[in-house]
Chain A
């Protein structure tokens, strides 16, 4: 309906310009309708998926978090479910295991995201500086872990963390150093390492591609102005690729908040990781081990809200942090 009003709105404008007779006007209207129909056909499959895989599930999660089933595990027929308001949220937010999971993920993000963004950017700047030998090969080698599925990256590192199998631990042992990579203080850094290993090269390539798009004149100008390579990299190139930096930071954040695969696998070998180590593991445990759907749904909604709020926060914060710089230039 709104589509036809738009069509009427645009057609007279074009018609008066060409001073077309009524039949041409009708033909234009028909063309416009054909276009909208084609647009609908092209979009329909994706939006069917969007509704079934995204909107309905999010709605269901919110709904479930406010209702509880007297006999959990028997589905959610409307007769048996009762409205419990915020009871599930209250239960969730007073559950120390959930709060410690949130704390774990917060700490994980605080260690992982800065390391990832700075490491990938530094490598990209080094590769872009033009003094690296065999640059193409170095890039390929750095990118390689991205082709290793997450669960297999976790498997490889689990073996490298396991005494008896790991050549790394053997090496340390020869130097009389004993390291327990899966101990209480080391398990989180060990997980950070797996994620860093998997994604460093990928993000480096993203930054490198953005750096390649920086106009060469800008860099030549800064060299003429007497800036050394380090200064050019930090004060000229880095601000010019900040869109990529924000994007990488946000995607890294979204992935980091979902932390699941690596701790799930390591939990097979480390008693330091319990079944509610991260919020995602908490959701899995609540839904499929304890069959407490409303609690799992409430945890899902909390995780969703945190993700959206933090992504939004990063976007706002970076755009504000950039304003003074822009006025200075």
Chain B
């Protein structure tokens, strides 16, 4: 081949490689679910409060993994349920969390996570009743947990408690009706900005060896991050 042809082929090949690499990085490694922002609005300062509303469903109809359990977070401005597990709160604020538990009960792998820690008062409201310990092996009472290990927060989520309810769970998502339990608790967000991961501790990844695969290890389903913004 003559010199201009060789140079041209090289340039095309180089651009193809660079383009391909950039595409892979952007599409596969940098993409991710949306971050729900609770920092907008009220002025900062002590006494700042934000209300985070979430729900967890037994299945989801919005992704290509329909049988994966999943959390949804409600956008504070549009009140729409968004399929994400990433949210942002202001530093030092009091975060009031409400979670609607539409998923049935599953035993914990380690029952120590049935104890509520890290919330204000170390208790939570489950369907209006104040509880501090849930027994996930004895009673059908724990569906998932909302745990932020970095700040010592562990809040077991209630679930519908009867056999009939557990066999009749809401099958589309985000759920608007169906048997569910309502949890409420509050905690103080840390004062240093950063990102704190949160996870569920109930082994609800069905079809995995310890129940901790699949949705349990995929951001956007049962684990996510709380970003604390200054």
**Are A and B genuine complex partners?**
no
Please list the residues of chain A having a beta carbon within 8 angstroms of any beta carbon in chain B: none
Please list the residues of chain B having a beta carbon within 8 angstroms of any beta carbon in chain A: none
